[in-house]
Structure 1
């Protein structure tokens, strides 16, 4: 697909599965010259004034413990790490976020504007791509950004560690393979009591759930080299008790809902005119 051999390494990242014809067609529509865009981002990465973390997470389904990582961008943003989170807009994800804003509504927002205002952005992709195509598409989006310094790949897909190392060296980014297990189950998100999840008063069930979420997300914090596993776990667990995640989510939701309502009002005004 690419002229530059190092870029072809990207299509070998998932063991035994490369770019499908469908994905190649999608990429051709999205990028005028994908190879040039990737190489330009590589060259400019050293000169980026800001450093952004990028999380790519495979589709979250009902009762999967991997839903814990939906809160990762709010955790990182609370620690002053600007972050973009990219995952398919599955019913499980929308069920959680729609309690706070109309997450299913597409908005014509510039990611950089949201990052500057809030230090985080949730990029909820459509679900028309399968897991492999979504993974590759999202990785490419991350590598096309000149400011991305770390990429977290949250997936159950079998990744080639040697190819990850080659991509790290070529693109000058750190790439972490965060393994998830689809069989690892929790309370169905449709039954979550959000006040027990985010506030101090928790029963035994939600104490255990927050411990689980903290343990899973701690792996991301270890990449910064500032925390031990115990410290990272305790820090995240405290965020679920001290309302820090709730506050960050609420601010993000208010911002996005305001943008959505403003956009609707503007469109209505244009139509009426």
Structure 2
């Protein structure tokens, strides 16, 4: 696909799965010149003063424990990291986030504007992608940003680890592969009690759930090399008990909802004029 040989390594990261025709066509529509965009981001990355953490998570299905990673961007943001989170907008994701803002209407908001205001952006993708296409598209979106310094790939896809070092070296980014287990189950997201999930008072069920979510998200913190497993788990668990995740999610939801209402007001005003 690419003229530059090194770029073709990207399409070999999933074992026995490359770019589909559908993905290649969509990339052609999304980017005027993808190769030039990737190479430009690679060059500018050395000079970028911003350090964005990019989390790409594969599809979260109903009752899967990997729903816990939906809170990863809020956890990292609480640690003063600038974060973009990218995942398909499946029912479990919409069930959680839809309680805080109108999730389906954010397609007109610019990522960089929200990131500048909050150091946090949730980029929810359409669900028509295959797992492999979403993975590759998400990775390319990350690599096309010169401010992205670390990429977290959260997926149950089998990746070719041997190729990671080549991509990291060429693009001057750090890539972390966090493998998920689709058979690890929890209750449906629609039934989750947000007050017990995010606040101090929890029954036995939510004590166990927060422990599970904390262990999952601790994997991201350990990637920074400054926390032991025990320290990382305890730090995340404290956020679930001290309302820190709730506060960050609430502020994000309030900001997005205000922007949406402002944009809708302007559209209606222009229409009536």
* TM-score between the two structures when normalised by the length of structure 2: 0.99
Distance 1:194 1:40 in 2: 43
Partner of 2:6: 6
What does 1:75-224 align with in structure 2 at a 5 Å threshold?
75-224=75-224
Separation in 1 of the partners of 2:261 and 2:109?
13
Cα distance in 2 for residues equivalent to 1:270 and 1:6 = 48
Partners of 1:11 and 1:19 in 2: CA distance: 6
The alpha-carbon deviation at position 198 of structure 1 amounts to 0.3
Structure 2 stretches of 5 or more lacking a match? Answer: none
SS in 2 for 1:47: coil
Query: What do the CA deviations read for 1:3-49 (whole angstroms, capped 9, x no partner)?
Result: 11110000010000000000000000010100000000001101001
Distance in 1 (CA, whole Å) between partners of 2:98 and 2:213 is 20
Aligned-pair CA distance for 1:110:
1.9
Q: Which residue of 1 aligns with 2:57?
A: 57
In the alignment, the residues of structure 2 paired with residue 179 and residue 85 of structure 1 have an alpha-carbon distance, to the nearest angstrom, of: 17
Deviation of 1:96 (Å): 0.6
- 3-state SS of paired residue (1:151): strand
Aligned-pair distance for 1:70? 0.3
Conserved in 2, the CA contact under 8 Å of 1:9 and 1:163?
yes
SS in 2 for 1:184: coil
Assess if the C-alpha contact under 8 Å between 1:101 and 1:254 holds in 2.
Answer: yes
Shift in Å at residue 271 of structure 1? 1.4
- Which residue of 2 is the match for residue 70 of structure 1? 70
Aligned residue for 2:77, secondary structure, equals helix
| Runs of 4+ with deviation above 4 angstroms | none
Structure 1 equivalent of residue 36 of structure 2: 36
Q: How many residues align?
A: 273
1:25 and 1:40 mapped to 2: Cα distance?
A: 21
SS of the equivalent of 2:107 reads coil
In structure 1, the residue corresponding to 2:103 is in which secondary structure? Answer: coil
CA–CA distance in structure 2, aligned partners of residues 32 and 100 of structure 1: 35
| In 1, Cα distance between equivalents of 2:170 and 2:250 | 38
- The C-alpha deviation readout for 1:30-82, integer Å capped at 9, x for no partner, is 10100000000001101001100000000101110000110000000000010
RMSD: 0.7
| Cα distance in 1 for residues equivalent to 2:50 and 2:117 | 14
5+ unaligned residues in a row in structure 1: which ranges?
none
CA positional deviation for 1:112: 1.4
